[in-house]
Each structure stands twice: as structure tokens, then as C-alpha cells.
A and B are shown apart, each in its own frame.
Chain A
């Protein structure tokens, strides 16, 4: 009379289990957030599991914490047993307390320099209107919360190659539709 769906169970199970796993699976970098001086979110990337609600709490709390810090203070804040390293226009990276904060600072600089090269002296507007580009670049620098590439040139080359792939595809569809329209 009562049926159980093994497959469905598994699905449900995965949803449940991962919810409970938060404290078990930890990345090196838990998340990367970019907030503007006005506290607006410009980029978020979560490498450890956070629920949607937690995400907005995190952003709210962190922007309150970081935006109020004066100049010339150190670039690290302690927050809920984690450390958050922030720099230039509030790139915030959350790490475990025993990770190397100075290196994270270098990673932020690394990221910013690559953005800079790509956009040609990057400004906030670039990141707003081309936010997806910023994500593509970030994905070439970090995977799974770990550093992927230390050479700015390599990252630039990979991004350029993929951009041109997109351009080519676009032109191809363009010419196909062109042919169709001429045929009409």
C-alpha cells in the first residue's frame, strides 16, 4: 500500500545530506565577494556550500564590517571564526583562520591586475556592464577555491582564445542567417 521510490529517495537524500555537510567540506577559499563602496554587490563566487539565505546574510554582515573600517588599517577582519581578506574596492575573500592572509592579498592583486589588463585600467563600470567577463576571468584563476594559474599572460591568452571562439561562432551564425535572408 505504501510505496517508496528508491530513486527519488536518493535525490531527496542528496539535497538533505549536502545541507548537513556544510561544516565538513571546506575549501581553501570559501567565497569571493566584490562589493562597491556603496555596499552594492558586484561579484560573488561561493566555493563552500552556503544557502541562498546565508549568502545574503554573509554579504550584509561583511559589507557592514568592511565598509566601516578606516583607511590604513590592516586588510584582514575576523568574522565568525573565519578571516576575510579585503583590498581595493573591496574584493573580499573568506578563508580559514590558519590560512595565509598575505598570500590571499597577492591573489587579489593578481586578479585585479588581470582584470586591469583585460579591460585596460578596469573601473567599476566595466565590472557592472561586463560582470560575466569578470566571472570568466575569475574562473581561469580559481577553481574549487584553489589557485589555478599564477601567470597573468596565460590567463589573458586563455580568455582571449575563448572570446575569439565566441566571435567566430557569432560570425558564422551571422553568415548563415545572411544566406537565409538573401535566399528569401
Chain B
């Protein structure tokens, strides 16, 4: 009987095993046979060293030789019939059957080996089957854990790792990893550390518990165990662990063994990334690593030095002074070295070391002309001598070019570098072209002229079949555009837009629009290009882009006729492009008579005749086509209303069209149709003044607003604050004309039913402010940011009613403090519905934070309200109110709170410790919170409430993450 690992019957100590287990029979085959098994079977056997009986009974053929033992658990999972073949030992046959019968009762035996589990999982045909297998395994593992099973702990962890990889929760196994690590043997530790790195991450509290084991292992003499510990520490250590274990790692940096040394060096990198203050301790050991011969140690050492330079300027200075010479020598040696089979990749000795040395040189040479000069020669040598026919060589060249661009290199060296990129660009390998484009973007800043020379090649790359390359090339083209080449480049890009992939059209359109807007020297060119883009990629154009186009057209009286005619023509061919349709509809509504009467014909135009009913046809088509969205159809309705007063002969037809939509299922359209119908029928006397042409939209105000709203995402609070004060200032001299009676409804409608903005909520905010500004029609706000309805309202050209303005202002007031970190649209909408009615005056300094329900369970509710002294932004007073939701009174009520380290918490005594039932009384308590990282980190808190119900202890706990931003 020679089992190759302990079976349960041989358990030396511990609780007495169940009777059936003690009768476990053990088969063995001579050890000689074992050696014949393939290597990885052997490895797997250690992990899952139960006998290799597959769940289907017969052992897999490759495993048959390794039938070293049968442990009871495998029996449980194998059908009895097959056991017969195993019960060769005769005498033990009956015991075996008894045993199997006993075990078959226990559905939770963790019987399967790792291999078998993997096989069973792979055999699953559906996700549901897989879930069932995993659930069963997890249940078995859980019960093994609760029984404190030691023999199979490593196997269970190995199984859990596999289950973890499939994406199932495995947190219950975390403690088992720690137990394995604490074991003394290498095999247990090896699996334990692997599990630790896989199943845990640095955020788990459990991780803190491993610090002690790590410390012990780091002090052992077995280099492999030390290596395991260093590896785990390097991969998942947290800041606390880094602090605790830094001295050990520092000591290990000085050991003789290269394996430990290199691991310690990489571990130090993690430590100084977590705790940059520790950098100086590692400085001199790191510098001494650069004198090593072993490549692994060198690579790790060079990386450590690079990271030291990143976190500390002192380190860069120190290394610059002491190591530059050594680095140059190292790089020269490695690049001149003869063939070294151990490190050779495609004829180059250790490209990894090359690249790391070059990277460190870049860190040292940055902004330091002496060092740059010193490394100039070696860089030139690497750049000119490295073979570029294989990837490894190109990787070195690429790094070398980056270093040349990064340091204060001589102009000759830079030319060399850009020439290398030029060669890369014409390479047939897509990878090389990709990195060349990438690098040229950095080179533009250094030497734009040299990059311009490759413009045609780069433009070709925009049309490449590879999306990654196209994207890079487009970015680069964008950087290369200037006043002289904008026209040919735009033409190329627009031509390509016609044939490009659908996926790429979005990016391409956005970039063309940016280029056209940024570099347009004349309005006509700008309008022409935009029309082309709209008719080719109108479905991808962003709202603010076509809004800007409308503002531009409205500001160019001599081009309005031309625009509306061009749009009319473009519409005939590309009526499926949403944004083109919208601009067309708007322009026909405004400038319809110019279309029909051929006003302001330019020389380049071909003459065309459009009748009044043709124009109405276009609008009717837009309104009735099923593919139009609500916004387009609403715009069409307004345009029709406008035309009805400009083209009297068509007014009957328009009236009919509008009447049809009185029954529209779309609420928005129905309401508009009803209102417009009543304007047409009952208010003929004011109709013509109502539907006058829009006042010229203020271009500079629109552009200013657009830029501020695009920056708003970054500094939301900063940009919204000034504009809100601007609104407040404008407000008093607001209303210019008395409001027109029929429109009152319309305005109310817009205030209630404002559609969800399609762009960012900040745009939306600005639009709201825009209403405030339109009180004086002369400064009529341009349409912007997605709220088409608002824009349409404005296009009617009537002043906003008086009482909406303060509403808007106050909503903005309540909104301002919450804008800081990316407010969601829903928040904005909530604010519009239930405005905070604290009545604070616009422009007052104290920010107001909404109260929150911090915690709610079926029995308890906790509300937080906040106050802040304006002069102390980092201190917040939180007034906590506790409400008992259950029907039992609570006594001895105690509230506890814990906060992250950067926050200080002070608790004042509570108002009482008795809490009456059913919300018939409250306890209040005040907390003072000081956030030392105010503005950078948000507040978070864990709370625990301990109380007694009918003299029974109860506790509840929770985590509060929904603090209003800015506390």
C-alpha cells in the first residue's frame, strides 16, 4: 500500500473521522509505473490527487496508469458497476461497497478532482448546466471549509480559482488562501499565494491579515518561498502593507541571490507607487543594482530607477549624477554584444533591456541638456545600427525615437528620428504603421514641418481598412491641418466620407466639422463644406454643430438665399440625413421666400425655379414621413406655420396639414397642432407678427456659450456660477413686449415637458439660462444643446413670459452646488420638478446641499442634512435624524460611524437614547466631518446602530455613499 499522498484514513491528528472514512481502502500500483505518466498529469495529480476516475466511471486512458490510489470521495461519485473493476483486492470489496453506499448518501462530498471538475464544466452544453455544476462544487467546497478540511484545502482553492475565472463569486475561499499561506510546506504556500493574488485584490480587508505571514516568509531562507512572498507583495500589496513590509524588501535587495534580488526590485516599484515617501530608502540600493551582470536583475533595477525618477526629483538628480555613465556603458555593451543565445530575439541581444535602458535615459535626459548631450552618441548609434526587419528591432527603434523626442537632442538626431518614423510609415506591417502614426503625433509638436512631408502617406492611412490605424491617422491629420492646407485636406476627407465605413463616419464627421469650424476663412466655404458634410454624414453630426451652422447662416444675410436653395437641392438627394433635414426645415421656415423668389443669387449658382407649393411639399414630407423623429416633425410644424403667413396661397393647404396632426399620437405634435390651429383660426390679426422671421442670432454669444459648455464638464461649478449671476443681472430689465395671450400655454408646456436633452446636462443648464437671456429679443439666444423645443419656441420670436424667468433662475441656484462631479440628467430633471424651496436668494454665497436619506431598512430610517460655513469648505456639519419604522420602541440606542482616513469625525451627544415606535419620535445627533482632501475625494461613511428591542440586542449597519458631491 503506497499511497502517493495522505488519505483520510492516515490523518495523524484532529477530530475522529467518521466510521466509514476510517475504513477507506487504498489501492496502489508500484511507484515505477507512476513515472511513466505524462508530466502534466503528474502535476494535476498533486492538485487533484484523488484517483482519476472520471464521473462517467471509467478512468481516462491516459490516467489509467496513474491509478495510484482510490480515496473514498472518488467512490462516492462513481457508479457502483465500475467499482467492481477496481475492487481487485477482493477482501476489501465489501468494505468498499459499504463505504460507497454510505458516502452516496452525502451529496456534498467534495469528491471530484480538479481535472474532473474542469471536464464536467467543459462538458456543459448550456450556461444553466454550468451554473448547476459550479453551484454543486461551491457547496462542496463551502462544506469542506466549514469542516476545516486540511487535506483538500489546496485542491479546493485550485478549483475556486478556476471557478473564479469563469466569473462566479468566490469570496468565501479567501480565508482558505491565508490558511494555506500560513502552512509550512512549499506546495501549500505556492497554491496559497496564487489564490491570494487571484481571489483577492488590494481592496479587501482580509488582505491585511496576510501581512504577518508575508513578513515571516520574507525572512525565511528558502529562496523560492521568499520569491513567492515577494511576487504576491508586488502584485497586490496595499499602501499599509507597503509601509509595513518595506524594510524587509529593502533588505532583500541586498541579498546575493539574483532571483530574490530581481523580485525585490520589482516589489519595491509597487511599494514606491503606493507610498512615494519611501522612495529615498530605495535610492542607493537601486543605483547599486545597475552594476549587476544578471539581466533579470538589471532589467528590474533599471525599472526601479525609472519609477524612482517618476516619483521624486531628488532621485532623478541623484541618478543623473551617479549613473548616467554606467547606463551608457550598459547600453553600448548590450547593443554591441555578440550573439548570446539565452537572450537573443531575432538577432538582437535582449531587446527588453535595450528598451528599458532607453526609457530610463529618457527620464534622465528630459529637460537636462548636459545628460542629453552625454547620451547623444549612444542614441545615434542605436538609432542607426539597429536592424529594422523584425519586430524586436523595431520595438527598440521606436523606444529610441521616443527618447530622442523626449530629451534635448541635437537637431541632427531629431532628423534621424523622424526619418525612422518615415520608414515605419511606409512599412507594410500594420503594427509598424500604427506606432509610426502614434509617434508622429508627438513629433508634430517638435518639428511640424518634417511631419508635413509625410502628409500624403498619412492621408492614405485614414482610408486604411484597419480601424485602429484609421483612427490614429485621423487624429494626426487633424494636427497637421493649417491655414494653407485646410482646403485640399478637407476635400480629401469629405470625399472619403462618402465611401467610408458606417462605424467610422461618426469620428470622421466630427473631425471634419472641427476642422471646418476652426479653419474657415470665409463664410461661403464654411457653409458649403458643412452642407456637404450634412448631406453625406448628417446622421452623425452633433447637435451643437448644426446649431452653429444655423447661427452662422442667420448672421450672413447675403448667403441666406444661397443657403436655402443649396439645402433644398441637397434635400432632394439626401433626405435620409437627419441633421440635413433639420437645417433645411429651419431654413425654409425662415427664408422660404428667398427660395421661391430667387433672392440674392450668387454667380456660381445654377438658376432654379421652386414654387411655393414645392417648398410646402418639402415640409409636408418631413412632417409625415415615418422616419422623421419628433423633433424634426415639430420643427416642420413651426416652419409650416411660418410659411402660411408668407405664402398666402398655400395657407389653406397648410391649415389642412396642421389640422390632420391635431389627432397625432405624439403629444408634442398634437399640442403644437392644436395651438397653431387656434392661431390660424382665431388670431389672424397677430399671426403675422407672431411668425416673423427670427431676429439675427448673436454669433459671439453663441460661440462663447458653446465653448463654456464644452468646458463645463471639467469645471462645471466654475462655469455655471458666473453665468447664473449673469442671468440674475439681466433679469430686472427683462420684458420688452407684453406677452401674447395664446402663447402662454405654449410656454407652460415647454416648462413642464422639456424633453430630456440629448447632449450633456450642462448644455441643458445653459439652455435654461438661455431662456432668461431671451427676455430682450435683441439678444435672442441661439439654439443650442439639444433642446429643440426651446429653440422652436424662440423661433416664434416672442418674448418669454415674465414668471418663467425667476423659476429658471432659482432652479439654477439650487442646482449649482450639485453640478461638480458630472451630474446626471436625471438629477437635473428632479431638480426641475421639485425645486428646493429654501428660497435662498440668487447669488447668495452659502452653497446648499440637499438632505439625503442616508440609511433605510424596514425598521430604521436615518436622514442627513448638511450645513457648511462658507469660510471652511472642508468642514461639514451633519444633522442626523433617526426614525423608528417598526412597531416596537427601541432603547439604549447607540449610533456609531467610521470614516476613511482622510476624514476626521466628531460626534456630539445624541438627543436621547430612546426611540419611540412607528415614527412617533426621533433622535437627533450632530456630526462634524472634516474632509482633509476636500474637493478631491468624496465623503463616505460606514454606520452601525446598536439598540435593544424588548431587551434584546439588535444591530444594523450600512454604508453611505450617496453624500451630495462637494462635501
User: Are B162 and A131 in contact, with the CB atoms below 8 A?
Assistant: yes
User: Are B434 and A143 in contact, with the CB atoms below 8 A?
Assistant: no
User: Are A9 and B898 in contact, with the CB atoms below 8 A?
Assistant: yes
Task: Specify which of B239, B263, B394, B435 is in contact with A14 (CB 8 Å cutoff).
Answer: B239
Given contacts A14-B208, A177-B6, contact A150 B350 (CB under 8 A): yes
Task: Specify which of A130, A132, A149 is in contact with B296 (CB 8 Å cutoff).
Answer: A149
Given contacts A78-B471, A100-B402, A129-B118, contact A13 B4 (CB under 8 A): no
Given contacts A74-B434, A119-B40, contact A135 B398 (CB under 8 A): no
| Range class of the B interface residue count | 35 or more
Neighbouring B residues of A74 by C-beta, 8 Å:
429-431, 433-434, 466, 468-469
Task: Specify which of A25, A47, A126, A150 is in contact with B274 (CB 8 Å cutoff).
Answer: A25
A-B contact pairs, 27 of them (CB 8 A): A1-B894, A1-B910, A1-B913, A12-B900, A27-B273, A42-B165, A43-B165, A51-B201, A74-B468, A102-B398, A103-B355, A106-B345, A128-B122, A129-B118, A131-B165, A135-B194, A139-B194, A143-B235, A143-B270, A144-B234, A144-B235, A144-B269, A151-B342, A153-B342, A161-B224, A170-B4, A178-B2
Given contacts A166-B46, A166-B186, contact A2 B2 (CB under 8 A): no
Task: Specify which of B296, B430, B894 is in contact with A73 (CB 8 Å cutoff).
Answer: B430
In the complex, how many residue pairs between chain A and chain B have their CB atoms under 8 Å apart? 274
State the Cβ distance, A156 to closest chain B Cβ, in Å. Answer: 11
Contact code string B102-116 (vs A, CB < 8 Å = 1, else 0): 000000000000010
User: Are B44 and A17 in contact, with the CB atoms below 8 A?
Assistant: no
Task: Compute how far the CA of A103 lies from the CA of B351 in the bound complex, rounded to whole angstroms.
Answer: 8
Task: Compute how far the CA of A109 lies from the CA of B351 in the bound complex, rounded to whole angstroms.
Answer: 13
Task: Specify which of B204, B205, B262 is in contact with A149 (CB 8 Å cutoff).
Answer: B262
Task: Specify which of B165, B203, B432 is in contact with A18 (CB 8 Å cutoff).
Answer: B203
User: Are A162 and B190 in contact, with the CB atoms below 8 A?
Assistant: yes
In the complex, which residue of chain B has the Cβ closest to the Cβ of A149?
B296
User: Are A106 and B10 in contact, with the CB atoms below 8 A?
Assistant: no
User: Are B3 and A9 in contact, with the CB atoms below 8 A?
Assistant: no
Neighbouring B residues of A152 by C-beta, 8 Å:
342
In the complex, which residue of chain B has the Cβ closest to the Cβ of A182?
B1
User: Are B161 and A132 in contact, with the CB atoms below 8 A?
Assistant: yes
Check: B187 CB closer than 8 A to any chain A CB: yes
Contact code string A125-168 (vs B, CB < 8 Å = 1, else 0): 01011111101100100011011111111100010011101110
Neighbouring B residues of A80 by C-beta, 8 Å:
none
Task: Specify which of B47, B203, B303, B913 is in contact with A146 (CB 8 Å cutoff).
Answer: B303
Task: Compute how far the CA of A19 lies from the CA of B238 in the bound complex, rounded to whole angstroms.
Answer: 11
Check: B202 CB closer than 8 A to any chain A CB: yes
Given contacts A165-B224, A171-B4, contact A133 B165 (CB under 8 A): no
State the Cβ distance, A91 to closest chain B Cβ, in Å. Answer: 15
User: Are A150 and B266 in contact, with the CB atoms below 8 A?
Assistant: no
In the complex, which residue of chain A has the Cβ closest to the Cβ of B303?
A146
State the Cβ distance, A47 to closest chain B Cβ, in Å. Answer: 7
User: Are B4 and A146 in contact, with the CB atoms below 8 A?
Assistant: no
Check: B488 CB closer than 8 A to any chain A CB: no
In the complex, which residue of chain B has the Cβ closest to the Cβ of A133?
B43
Tell which of A74, A78, A161, A173 has the most Cβ of chain B within 10 Å: A74
Task: Compute how far the CA of A18 lies from the CA of B149 in the bound complex, rounded to whole angstroms.
Answer: 33
- Chain A residues 1 to 60 lying within 8 A of chain B, measured CB to CB, are 1-5, 8-20, 25-28, 41-47, 49-52, 56, 59
Given contacts A15-B204, A105-B391, contact A135 B198 (CB under 8 A): yes
In the complex, which residue of chain A has the Cβ closest to the Cβ of B351?
A106
Q: Which of B212-220, B516-524, B692-700, B901-909 contacts A (4 or more CB under 8 A)?
A: B901-909
Neighbouring B residues of A11 by C-beta, 8 Å:
205, 208
Check: B494 CB closer than 8 A to any chain A CB: no
A residues lining the B interface (CB < 8 Å): 1-5, 8-20, 25-28, 41-47, 49-52, 56, 59, 69-70, 72-78, 100-103, 105-107, 109-110, 119, 126, 128-133, 135-136, 139, 143-144, 146-154, 158, 161-163, 165-167, 169-171, 173-174, 176-178, 180-182
Task: Compute how far the CA of A176 lies from the CA of B295 in the bound complex, rounded to whole angstroms.
Answer: 41
State the Cβ distance, B865 to closest chain A Cβ, in Å. Answer: 19
Task: Specify which of A20, A126, A139, A158 is in contact with B259 (CB 8 Å cutoff).
Answer: A158
State the Cβ distance, B54 to closest chain A Cβ, in Å. Answer: 13
Contact code string B183-202 (vs A, CB < 8 Å = 1, else 0): 00111001100100110011
Task: Compute how far the CA of A66 lies from the CA of B942 in the bound complex, rounded to whole angstroms.
Answer: 40
Neighbouring B residues of A174 by C-beta, 8 Å:
2-6
User: Are B122 and A126 in contact, with the CB atoms below 8 A?
Assistant: no
User: Are A150 and B295 in contact, with the CB atoms below 8 A?
Assistant: yes
Check: B277 CB closer than 8 A to any chain A CB: no
Task: Compute how far the CA of A51 lies from the CA of B208 in the bound complex, rounded to whole angstroms.
Answer: 18
Neighbouring A residues of B343 by C-beta, 8 Å:
150-151
Neighbouring A residues of B40 by C-beta, 8 Å:
119, 126, 129-130, 133
Task: Specify which of B158, B267, B429, B468 is in contact with A132 (CB 8 Å cutoff).
Answer: B158
Tell which of A2, A51, A102, A173 has the most Cβ of chain B within 10 Å: A102
User: Are A73 and B465 in contact, with the CB atoms below 8 A?
Assistant: yes
Neighbouring A residues of B391 by C-beta, 8 Å:
102, 105-106
Given contacts A72-B430, A102-B395, contact A47 B296 (CB under 8 A): no
Task: Specify which of A25, A101, A165 is in contact with B434 (CB 8 Å cutoff).
Answer: A101
Check: B896 CB closer than 8 A to any chain A CB: yes
Neighbouring B residues of A28 by C-beta, 8 Å:
303
In the complex, which residue of chain B has the Cβ closest to the Cβ of A47?
B235
User: Are B186 and A146 in contact, with the CB atoms below 8 A?
Assistant: no
- Chain B residues 425 to 483 lying within 8 A of chain A, measured CB to CB, are 429-435, 438, 465-469, 471
Task: Compute how far the CA of A150 lies from the CA of B334 in the bound complex, rounded to whole angstroms.
Answer: 13
Neighbouring B residues of A151 by C-beta, 8 Å:
295-296, 342-343
Task: Compute how far the CA of A180 lies from the CA of B204 in the bound complex, rounded to whole angstroms.
Answer: 41
In the complex, which residue of chain A has the Cβ closest to the Cβ of B938?
A20
Task: Specify which of A102, A129, A167, A169 is in contact with B44 (CB 8 Å cutoff).
Answer: A129
State the Cβ distance, B936 to closest chain A Cβ, in Å. Answer: 9
Task: Compute how far the CA of A9 lies from the CA of B907 in the bound complex, rounded to whole angstroms.
Answer: 14
State the Cβ distance, B245 to closest chain A Cβ, in Å. Answer: 14
- Apart from A15-B203, A133-B43, what are 6 other A-B pairs with CB-CB below 8 Å? A46-B201, A70-B465, A105-B431, A106-B395, A143-B235, A174-B4
Neighbouring A residues of B227 by C-beta, 8 Å:
158
State the Cβ distance, A147 to closest chain B Cβ, in Å. Answer: 6
State the Cβ distance, B845 to closest chain A Cβ, in Å. Answer: 29
Check: B15 CB closer than 8 A to any chain A CB: no
Neighbouring A residues of B905 by C-beta, 8 Å:
4
State the Cβ distance, B108 to closest chain A Cβ, in Å. Answer: 24
Neighbouring B residues of A14 by C-beta, 8 Å:
203, 205, 208, 238-240, 901
State the Cβ distance, A158 to closest chain B Cβ, in Å. Answer: 6
Task: Compute how far the CA of A144 lies from the CA of B202 in the bound complex, rounded to whole angstroms.
Answer: 12
Neighbouring A residues of B737 by C-beta, 8 Å:
none
State the Cβ distance, B469 to closest chain A Cβ, in Å. Answer: 6
Given contacts A43-B165, A146-B303, A161-B224, contact A173 B6 (CB under 8 A): yes
User: Are A17 and B239 in contact, with the CB atoms below 8 A?
Assistant: yes
Task: Compute how far the CA of A27 lies from the CA of B210 in the bound complex, rounded to whole angstroms.
Answer: 23
Neighbouring A residues of B399 by C-beta, 8 Å:
100, 103
Task: Specify which of A17, A43, A52, A59 is in contact with B902 (CB 8 Å cutoff).
Answer: A17
State the Cβ distance, A52 to closest chain B Cβ, in Å. Answer: 8
State the Cβ distance, A15 to closest chain B Cβ, in Å. Answer: 6
Task: Compute how far the CA of A119 lies from the CA of B39 in the bound complex, rounded to whole angstroms.
Answer: 9
Neighbouring B residues of A27 by C-beta, 8 Å:
273
Neighbouring B residues of A10 by C-beta, 8 Å:
240, 901
Check: B7 CB closer than 8 A to any chain A CB: yes
* Ranked 4 nearest A-B pairs via Cβ: A102-B395, A74-B430, A13-B901, A16-B900
User: Are B266 and A77 in contact, with the CB atoms below 8 A?
Assistant: no
Check: B704 CB closer than 8 A to any chain A CB: no
User: Are A12 and B895 in contact, with the CB atoms below 8 A?
Assistant: no
Task: Compute how far the CA of A69 lies from the CA of B158 in the bound complex, rounded to whole angstroms.
Answer: 33
In the complex, which residue of chain A has the Cβ closest to the Cβ of B164?
A44
State the Cβ distance, A44 to closest chain B Cβ, in Å. Answer: 6
User: Are B269 and A12 in contact, with the CB atoms below 8 A?
Assistant: no
